[in-house]
Structure 1
Amino acid sequence: MNTAGNSSTPSKTADWHALSPDQSLARLESRMDGLSSEEVRRRLETWGPNSLPEPTRIGPVRRFLAQFNSGLIYFLLAAALASFMLGHIIDGAVIAMVVLVNAIVGFVQEGKAEQALRAIGHLISHQAAVKREEQQTSVQVAELVPGDIVILEAGQKVPADARIVRARALSVDEALLTGESLTADKASTAVPAEAALGDRSSMVFSGTLVKTGQATAVVTATGRATEIGKISGMLQEVTELSTPLLRQINRFATRFTRVILVGAVLLFGFLIWMRQFEWSEALIMVVALAVGLIPEGLPAVITITLAIGVRRMAARHAVIRKLPAVETLGAVSVICTDKTGTLTRNEMMVRRVFAGETELQVSGSGYSPEGELSTTQGGLEDAIPAVRELARGGLLCGDARLDQGEKGWSVEGDPMEGALIAFAMKAGLDPERERGEWPRVDEIPFDASHRYMATLHRSPEGGHVVFIKGAPEAVLRMIGKPGLNEEWETRISAAAATGERLLGFAVKRVDDAEDAINPDLLTVGVEPLGLVGFIDPPREEAQDAVAECRRAGIDVKMITGDHVATALAIAKQLRLADEPKAMTGTEVERLSEEELRNAVDKVSVFARASPEHKLRIVKALQAQGHIVAMTGDGVNDAPSLKQADVGTAMGQKGSEASREAAKMVLLDDNFASIVSAVHEGRTVYDNIRKLIAWTLPTNGGESVAVLLAILVGFTLPMTATQILWINLVTDSALGLALAFEPSERGVMERRPRRSDAPLLSSFMLWRVILVSFLFAGLSLGVFFVALDMDRSLETARTMVVNMLVVAGIFYLFNVRYLHVSSFSWRGILGTKAVLISVGIVLLAQLVFTYLPVMNDIFQSRPLSIFELGSIIVAGIGMMLLLECEKLLMRRLGWFDELQGGHITPQPAAP
């Protein structure tokens, strides 16, 4: 016999689900009594062990050093080094400390290493029951090879991808691959070659869980060749993208560095050649000016702002694993979400009942037995007997149980059977009483080969009764009434259009002599009871969240393993689009990368999607310039979660692999929590822009004043230590207050900013330049006026320092509202953080101005009430001027580009 090693991998030799069991065995050169030990050895050498490769792990040192990989950080480190070399020890120490704190915060937040591949590996069971050389034995899963005959039973994890040869009542939980919570019924019957992964009922896949029944199957793929192994390979190939903010900061830092370096060289040359400075003195002055210009506190405050966003999101049931994801959420333009449990409740519920000639609607929520039966046709009382008999059949022909706990009603067993129990209770039946009065005698378990379940019960009125439930087509064949076929088919089509899952019900009455049932007993005398339509209802909060997304210009796309009709019906109920369009995974496969990029924006629902489809869809959306948030819970979602800009895993029903691949985890598995996180992400980005709009001008103003003094040749308005004092006080206290700013009204009324939007927009750049020169003008004006009034140089410089600090305070109130006027009750009062920061700064300035020891250290002098009052009046005048400028800019439409050209008119100030 030839070995199995004649082709690259057995998994590629055929669509195993489309072959018959005999064809699969022949193709694998295997047999039902198992492989020989020698054959197993040869195949193990050829295919390798049935295991997944260990991921490459990044050590803590490399992860810590990665926190310094930023253009702005490089520049700060260079400035710190230059400060140390030139004797500016305090300057250098402060800058180095800020950089170190920034790195530590980022390292701690991202402390948990990437473990997605290891989490996937844990899903594979350790032992497998196999047949080898006509004997059943137990072997290590790693020793399985293609062609092995494996024995599967309820409760076991499937050890490898395998083609079912024999099966009895087999159902498998494939949620980690398909995302669907309902178990998949399995049989040995071949299915079409083009069947999607979730429809391959003749296959079982590695890592999935056998829920019911038994099976014998032949292994078709092991290790990397399995479906779960392919996901592992995709994870290794995915390169995580940089976040929009990090890209913007790096671009800004690079340009900022170039400007400062060029300016420093020119200034150094000017001082040497034009002012005849000594080179060392000129170099010290240039470095001092650069230190004053560098926003050394900016990285740390940005990190703290992100950390505050993390805390706020946690309060909204969203846990951030990767710190930059906080800001990325604010730029999200597309949310790709699963259906089951995220947009829907993940609780089956009976919504519609066809009993006799009556169609009834069933109200309620989930598995709770509270609800009512109603009909628009009238005659509800006449239909009650038929409805209760149908409800009794659904209750007794099943094995599930309903329990009421602290968190409400839950089901143990099949979700649809749990929904039938709730329906029976709504119809007025007591489950325990019914089971006691109608004891079960025998049963035919559900099996995918015959697609029905039947139970034999002793009737309290005498005789025996068989209740039958199953696929409507299978139940119709038993009933055998041609007239009923057309009626049921009409209702089946109507139910499919609304996304309902239908079960047919029937009954057969037999005498006491029948104490066992078999399929032959159900060929005649079967009477119809009716049809029941099930839905997994949308979450009420999800409907509001989708509407909020649409108002915010965020597209919501459903990517699910469910059938297209069911998914499309839910999409229409949630109004994902005015006219949602759907595409199946098979259709996605037929499209080229370019065709898919052109199609993704127009499609709202992707059904029967495999892991490869999800990954292609996310990449296509990103190729269109979108910032993508992707939700998922199964191992099948891990590659697309890692690829997405904000991968979002489910905390309750999500797999460990999905959580480790994601940047955010939802504690409540609720779509509404994603939208809340987006809201917080936009607030964080707003606060970061406010921080930058505040920091750069305050640093720039003092630098412009000093630069003018150097160029023109008059006395410096501040000493180097006074410049450092201003930076320490304002950046560490006032700037940090902006990190705690609440959301501005209308934050979710804007469209998402472009992914390539610059950090400094035209308006922001204008504001930085304007305010810098205003600060410089105020400080120089105060300086020269003080000298003209015969104040000492030390007093004049003290007034300049206080002027810059007071100007920073008033500008803080102005910049708290980028889009609207700051003249409102809330704007004037500020927040608790603002008031505390202002109080600290004012106290520090009083110490700086009046404490003798500070006068000695910083060469400051006490000021009179008149001098302080004039400084405050100048600060108020500056704020009035900036508020007028803000009003003018709004009327000119410059606010329209604050978010990269995608912003709607803002509402009035709060």
Structure 2
Amino acid sequence: MKLTADRPDASAPPQWHAIPQAQVEQALQTGAAGLSEAEARQRLAQHGPNRLAPPKRRGPLLRLLMQFHNILLYVMMAAAVITALLGHWIDTGVLMAAVVINAIIGFIQEGKAESALDAIRAMLSPHAMVIRDGRRREIDAAGLVPGDLVALTSGDRVPADLRLVTVNALRIEEAALTGESLPVEKSVDAVVADAPLGDRYSMAYSGTLVVYGQASGIVVATGTATELGKINQMLSGIRELTTPLLRQVDRFGRMLALIILGMSAATFVLGIWWRGQPPADMFMMVVALAASAIPEGMPAIMTVTLALGVQRMARRKAIIRRLPAVEALGSVTVICSDKTGTLTRNEMTVQRVVCAGHVVDVGGIGYAPVGDLSIDGRIIAPDHYPALAMAIRAGVLCNDARLCDEDGLWRVEGDPTEGALLVLGSKTGFSRQGGEEAWPRLGVIPFESQHRFMATYHRDGDGEPWIFVKGAPERILDMCSAQLGHGGERALDVDHWRRMATDTAAQGLRLLALAYRRAAPLEDRLSFADTEAGYVLLALVGIIDPPREEAIRAVGECHRAGIRVKMITGDHVETARAIGAQLAVGVGRPAITGAEVAVMDDAALRRVAWDVDVFARASPEHKLRLVKALQSHGQVVAMTGDGVNDAPALKRADVGVAMGMKGTEAAKEAADMVLADDNFATIAAAVREGRAVYDNLKKFILFMLPTNGGEALVVIAAILFELPLPLTPAQVLWINMVTSSTLGLALAFEPAERGIMNRRPRPPGEALLSGFFVWRVLMVSVLMMIGALGLFLWELDNGTSMETARTMAVNAVVAAEMFYLINSRFIFAPVVSREGLTGNRYVLLAIAACIPLQIAYTHAPAMQSVFGSTDLTLLEWAKVVAAGLLVFTVAEFEKLVIRRTRLAAHFSQVALQGDSHERPSVRRCHAPASPAGHRPECPLRPGLGPSGPAG
């Protein structure tokens, strides 16, 4: 979907936020008495009900059948057909059960994903207070039509998009729609046509929440025409992407299926035409070949590995909603994070107090009243600074919020900005309760957006009158003629305060000014006549929603892991830039706004998306376009968010991450993962687990393919050289059932390797099998063939019976797989150590379980009658073990050669660069990031893939 900026167009909907009230009423043919009932019915028939239409969905039967359209399931079903042809009905039942279970799991997960749209529709208000025929009445919100006059009050959810016509101190929580961290003050004045969504102060949008004041507005859009409806349409039109692993496995499965089919057909033809074998015999040989090559256990092992990753992530507060997302986390190259509540605490905090003679820094973050006040790094006592002490008192007394302590968890009831002033007071020992007992409130002028200040009237302990005001700096400055400093009151230095306001705002801080007047009201109660002039300016207060400390550490960890972190927020650009600087996001790079994104075409945005890390005042369309632009660069994108405005981007991203505590249901339903603790640091932990899962999957594949390949080479060699078949089809299936599944499953339990977060993300297009992996598979396959086929021919040459030779060949393959399982724990690092041999108890348990099965296969009369096996002597068992040790020894030697070759190549590179005095581990591991955010690998921590412990 290509998104461009709004352009004047006769067919485009009116820019209601930019049209004066009178013109809105004229255009919609409404007024102070609202619509008539007859007119409302006519418009309802024309525009339809005020609800979001359900999307077109596939029926349950089609959804279920589509779950079987998977190359891995095709491979499993092919294996089931082969086992059925061989009469192994138990194996057939197990394989088909695995196919059905996989399909059912996919069916359930798809049903859950579709509920994201239901969650958005649930945000619409069920009722609305409407004025029709001059009378107020409550109706079902679905009956609203354009032109209706709707009344709003505190606590209401806005039922449709409204153009406000009357406002009384109205503040609306729009974070779920725009990402704005604070409730937005509304007015009736028109704004510029190109104002971003968060700056359209004359509008109230469907699904947002009124937190303070009252208002009335004219309905200008209903149902799918609302901003919420547009998000719903975007969400329903987004195609979910598969994960990198699923794409790789799909390619790998298709390639493997073609290779097996081609190899089997070629073997069948050569056996008949070249060797003259009977077709019936060749068919059974080809069945044995196919059975040995098909990785029956791969889908099951992949599911188990991912499921174990889900469990480990759940213990770290990361709830996975879609199984493949576990692995996708490990390949993430870019994290696009929302700011409010994700990187920040969503708790406004005073960080700076500017008085006439000094600038005070305030320590501590969030609502917990812990932190020191300091000047130039020196901790101070506020009582020694009269202007500071009086400013703190004014901020606490001229305040309607409440600071609550619930079992050590601090929260604010009321406006977050006022809450920040209460926290500042508590840090200095001045609470609102104690302050109002000594300085009781006798009058108040509530905050209203048109006046931009709040005032309260008090008397101190001596009975002296005080009026405190707080509000927008420019408004308070107009009321002041003096300022309070160390030496008392003196004339106001307007230029100084304006410079300080500009400097503080440039740091991303929201500003409030505090002032007082020592006088009683002119009349019995406080009125606007008492706020015209004669005030003394106390201070400017800088407030910000600070970043989480753990988020700062997590961003650093992501950077070390080669993951680029981008912040996409609906907040103001100065605030976004300041938070980004504290998080080390976008430092030294420009920050751009949603308005700038809107005028870019897709090609321009693709060029900008990678270079810019901070995007402010971003709308849902902008977030979605940015995710697409990054994906067009080949990046694997994780998108975090908590609002309904984030849902389209969450769904489109490779990994959508929603906040569990503060997130909307729409965001959670659209996401692949939910953070139970709303902590960005949990994402870094989840990425670590995701990388470990991918490591384990590759280890399993690197274990499985040589074992299957060894069996296949044994069969192929026997056919091509007209040798007796060392393995019968039934014996091949026994080996696959006992080893590939039982032994390989142990690799799913491998712990994450040390230094796993010091690697660069794997390239998104990286093949599942690299050139090295192909070499390793061929090498181990040949070693297994040599051990099994060589032992088989040796025993036949010595006069051993066919049954005994085959029994030894089967056990030689199984023994080689047991030893190679230990090799497979680390791909490059040696396993001849205590950690390598005993670090995964599940490997030992799997081998311990496999040994008695092989003993039973060899010596149990029932197994001998089924598989044609015979008893072996101790000497024959020793030969079997020697065949297994051959694979283990050569594989460890190969690792040693690779490590030494890499180290030698590294020293050669250092010598060529004339830098032979620097330690290689320092030089390589601390090299700067590449343009793609990747860091070079350290040769002493072999890491072109999963590498084992740092050496």
Confirm or deny a common fold (TM above 0.5).
yes
Compute the displacement of 1:91 (Å). 4.9
What does residue 323 of structure 1 align with? Answer: 323
2:670 paired with 1:661: yes
Deviations 1:199-239 (A, max 9, x none): 11111000101111111111111111110000001011100
CA distance in 2, matches of 1:731, 1:400: 64
Contact 1:463 1:512 in 2 (8 A): no
Alignment of 1:37-52 (within 5 A): 37-52=37-52
Greater mean deviation of Cα atoms: 164-173 or 342-351: 342-351
What does residue 71 of structure 1 align with? Answer: 71
What does residue 393 of structure 1 align with? Answer: 394
Contact 1:10 1:146 in 2 (8 A): no
Compute the displacement of 1:164 (Å). 0.9
Contact 1:152 1:210 in 2 (8 A): yes
Contact 1:553 1:752 in 2 (8 A): yes
CA distance in 1, matches of 2:518, 2:382: 25
Choose the corresponding residue for 1:829, options 838, 847, 872: 838
Contact 2:478 2:533 in 1 (8 A): no
Contact 2:902 2:939 in 1 (8 A): no
Greater mean deviation of Cα atoms: 304-313 or 181-190: 181-190
Amino acid at match of 2:394: G
Structure 2 CA distance for partners of 1:629 and 1:80, relative to 1, 3 Å? same
Unaligned 5+ runs, structure 1: 1-7
What does residue 543 of structure 2 align with? Answer: 534
Amino acid at match of 1:208: T
Compute the displacement of 1:60 (Å). 4.9
Alignment of 1:538-617 (within 5 A): 538-617=547-626
What does residue 223 of structure 1 align with? Answer: 223
2:190 paired with 1:190: yes
SS of 1:527's equivalent in the other structure is: strand
CA distance in 2, matches of 1:878, 1:344: 54
What does residue 435 of structure 2 align with? Answer: 434
Amino acid at match of 1:307: A
What does residue 452 of structure 1 align with? Answer: 453
Structure 2 CA distance for partners of 1:805 and 1:56, relative to 1, 3 Å? same
Structure 2 CA distance for partners of 1:809 and 1:830, relative to 1, 3 Å? farther
What does residue 242 of structure 1 align with? Answer: 242
Greater mean deviation of Cα atoms: 544-553 or 354-363: 354-363
Amino acid at match of 1:650: M
CA distance in 1, matches of 2:933, 2:91: 36
SS of 1:171's equivalent in the other structure is: strand
Contact 1:757 1:900 in 2 (8 A): no
Amino acid at match of 1:585: G
Contact 1:650 1:667 in 2 (8 A): yes
What does residue 877 of structure 2 align with? Answer: 868
SS of 2:399's equivalent in the other structure is: coil
Greater mean deviation of Cα atoms: 766-775 or 69-78: 69-78
What does residue 469 of structure 2 align with? Answer: 468
2:499 paired with 1:498: no
Compute the displacement of 1:890 (Å). 4.2
Contact 2:510 2:543 in 1 (8 A): yes
CA distance in 1, matches of 2:155, 2:106: 42
Choose the corresponding residue for 1:748, options 757, 770, 782: 757
Compute the displacement of 1:270 (Å). 2.3
CA distance in 2, matches of 1:160, 1:436: 44
Deviations 1:446-476 (A, max 9, x none): 1211211112223332243221111111111
Structure 2 CA distance for partners of 1:58 and 1:316, relative to 1, 3 Å? farther
Alignment of 1:623-772 (within 5 A): 623-772=632-781
What does residue 620 of structure 1 align with? Answer: 629
SS of 1:455's equivalent in the other structure is: strand
SS of 1:177's equivalent in the other structure is: helix
SS of 2:547's equivalent in the other structure is: coil
Deviations 1:330-350 (A, max 9, x none): 111100001111111211111
Amino acid at match of 1:497: A
Contact 2:456 2:469 in 1 (8 A): yes
Amino acid at match of 1:211: V
Compute the displacement of 1:104 (Å). 4.3
Deviations 1:792-826 (A, max 9, x none): 22221111111111111111111111242223321
CA distance in 1, matches of 2:606, 2:708: 45
Compute the displacement of 1:376 (Å). 2.5
SS of 1:341's equivalent in the other structure is: helix
CA distance in 2, matches of 1:187, 1:260: 71
Q: With structure 1 as the length reference, what TM-score do the two structures score?
A: 0.95
What does residue 295 of structure 2 align with? Answer: 295
SS of 2:588's equivalent in the other structure is: coil
Compute the displacement of 1:315 (Å). 0.9
What does residue 786 of structure 1 align with? Answer: 795
Contact 2:564 2:933 in 1 (8 A): no
CA distance in 2, matches of 1:671, 1:254: 38
CA distance in 2, matches of 1:467, 1:279: 101
Deviations 1:751-775 (A, max 9, x none): 1122221111111111111111111
SS of 1:371's equivalent in the other structure is: coil
Alignment of 1:163-202 (within 5 A): 163-202=163-202
Compute the displacement of 1:512 (Å). 6.9
CA distance in 2, matches of 1:163, 1:327: 46
Compute the displacement of 1:625 (Å). 0.6
Contact 1:170 1:213 in 2 (8 A): yes
Alignment of 1:1-40 (within 5 A): 12-40=12-40
Number of equivalences: 901
Alignment of 1:786-865 (within 5 A): 786-865=795-874
Alignment of 1:885-904 (within 5 A): 885-891=894-900, 904=937
Compute the displacement of 1:325 (Å). 0.6
What does residue 4 of structure 1 align with? Answer: none
Percent identity between matched residues is 49
Contact 2:586 2:612 in 1 (8 A): no
CA distance in 2, matches of 1:107, 1:92: 23
Deviations 1:621-641 (A, max 9, x none): 111111100001111111111
Report the RMSD for the aligned CA atoms in angstroms: 2.4
Contact 1:478 1:526 in 2 (8 A): yes
Compute the displacement of 1:671 (Å). 0.8
CA distance in 1, matches of 2:773, 2:730: 29
SS of 1:594's equivalent in the other structure is: helix
Deviations 1:553-607 (A, max 9, x none): 1110000011111111111111124423211000000111000001111000000
Contact 2:480 2:492 in 1 (8 A): no
SS of 1:352's equivalent in the other structure is: strand
2:299 paired with 1:305: no
What does residue 3 of structure 1 align with? Answer: none
Structure 2 CA distance for partners of 1:901 and 1:197, relative to 1, 3 Å? closer
Alignment of 1:60-139 (within 5 A): 60-85=60-85, 87=87, 89-107=89-107, 112-139=112-139
Compute the displacement of 1:490 (Å). 1.3
What does residue 415 of structure 1 align with? Answer: 416
Compute the displacement of 1:907 (Å). 4.6
Structure 2 CA distance for partners of 1:744 and 1:648, relative to 1, 3 Å? same
Contact 1:58 1:113 in 2 (8 A): no
Contact 1:746 1:906 in 2 (8 A): no
Deviations 1:478-521 (A, max 9, x none): 11569532112111122122221111011122237643222222
Contact 1:754 1:900 in 2 (8 A): no
Contact 1:650 1:659 in 2 (8 A): yes
CA distance in 2, matches of 1:719, 1:383: 93
Contact 2:152 2:215 in 1 (8 A): yes
Compute the displacement of 1:430 (Å). 3.3
Amino acid at match of 2:232: S
Contact 1:106 1:303 in 2 (8 A): no
Amino acid at match of 2:467: V
Structure 2 CA distance for partners of 1:218 and 1:106, relative to 1, 3 Å? closer
Structure 2 CA distance for partners of 1:788 and 1:725, relative to 1, 3 Å? same
Structure 2 CA distance for partners of 1:70 and 1:89, relative to 1, 3 Å? same
Deviations 1:361-380 (A, max 9, x none): 11123112222222129785
